[in-house]
Amino acid sequence: MPLSAARHDLSSHIAHIKHCKLLGIGLRENSADSIVLALPYAPSAAGVTGSDTLSGGALLALMDTVCGLTSAKKLNYEGIAPTLNITIDYVQAQSPGSKLLGIATTYQINQTTLLSRGICYEENNKESPIAFCSGTFIKIDPGISKAKPLQIDNPDYIQFLDTLKTLPYDKAITSLISQSPYAQLLGIQARRDQSQALFILPAGEHILGNNSLPALHGGCIAGFMEHAALLQAWSLDTSKTIPTAINSSIDFLRPACLVDSYATCQIMRRGRKVTNINVSMWQTDTSKRVASASINVLN
């Protein structure tokens, strides 16, 4: 469904975003100044088995969607406004089994840049937010041509992918993936060689955000990168409790097309309580990053 149709039927437009459909994200309210979306609890999107709370990745998808839609609304749904940057701060834990709502408003800074502010909260508890969100979006001409499918024909890159298949699995990381329904929902995989882990997000229509390009959902990209950071931090010391994200800042550098995606983590600082991790994500060329992230993790 074209974005221009959203001005007439926003609910149907959201229903056509495949990653939103996967998570059950739907329209709750569409007022003159803001949009409210709802994310119901589902065991398949839980962060860890037995926690009964939604993954941070699912929450990121909710907030990226609502912030992006308010940006498009600000432009009267003419053209598209892809995510340039999104930052989220978690301020308190969710209640088990709770439905989350995301509300956002957008301000146009200049002819091309928009800033969205959002709040995530539990249903019937707006006065006690779960997280605050800030996103920057860029206006693109509505006549932009569709992205061409990517071809992996670089011999060196094909050899690089073949080498990855021979690397041994890291039991600690794969064990944590098996305990994260959200990671399994996305299909996240991990391979490790000595001290560095490679995280893989296999291509699939269930992670699409833009059907026409097609391009991966920005919230899915953010969720994948945050999960990679958490897995990397946890693998450093599996004797401790599973780490949690304090905040995540994601920069989207290029459109993420419908091909396999990869991410690696770099530990910038590991303190007694907090580990700062930089995450790089790419697709067909290691020198051309799709996104980068800075994530602070509570050890």
Q: Does the pLDDT value for residue 195 go beyond 70?
A: no
Written as six digits, the tokens of 267 are 């530990």
- Residue 112 Rama label (left phi>0; alpha psi -120 to 50; beta): alpha
Q: Higher confidence at residue 138 or residue 182?
A: 182
Structure tokens at 1: 């469904």
Bond prior to 82 in cis (omega within 30° of 0): no
pTM score: 0.82
Checking if the pLDDT of 168 tops 60, the result is no
In whole angstroms, give the CA distance from residue 65 to residue 6. 13
In the chain the first and final C-alpha atoms are separated, in Å, by 43
Angstrom distance (rounded) from CA 50 to CA 170 = 23
| Neighbouring C-beta atoms of residue 154, cutoff 10 Å | 12
Tell me which architecture the domain covering 3-148+197-298 has in CATH.
Roll (3.10)
Q: How far apart are CA 245 and CA 239, in angstroms?
A: 18
- pLDDT of residue 4 exceeding 80: no
User: Look-up: residue for tokens 């780490």?
Assistant: 243
What are the pLDDT digits (tens) for 210-267?
Answer: 888 889 999 999 999 999 999 888 777 765 666 889 889 999 999 999 999 999 999 9
Domain edges within the chain:
3-148+197-298
Q: Per mean pLDDT, which range of 29-43, 69-83, 107-121, 264-278 is the poorest?
A: 69-83
Whole-angstrom distance, CA of residue 298 vs CA of residue 159: 37
Q: How far is residue 106 CA from its own chain's centroid?
A: 20
Q: In what order do the strands lie in the sheet with 26-30?
A: 26-30, 35-39, 100-108, 113-122, 131-138, 83-90, 244-252, 289-298, 274-282, 261-270, 196-201, 189-193
Report whether 179 contacts 172 (CB < 8 A): no
Q: Is the pLDDT of residue 99 over 90?
A: yes
Phi, psi of 8 (to 5 degrees): -100, -35
Q: Between 78 and 115, whose confidence is greater? A: 115
Closest Cα partner for 257 from 149, 103, 120? Answer: 149
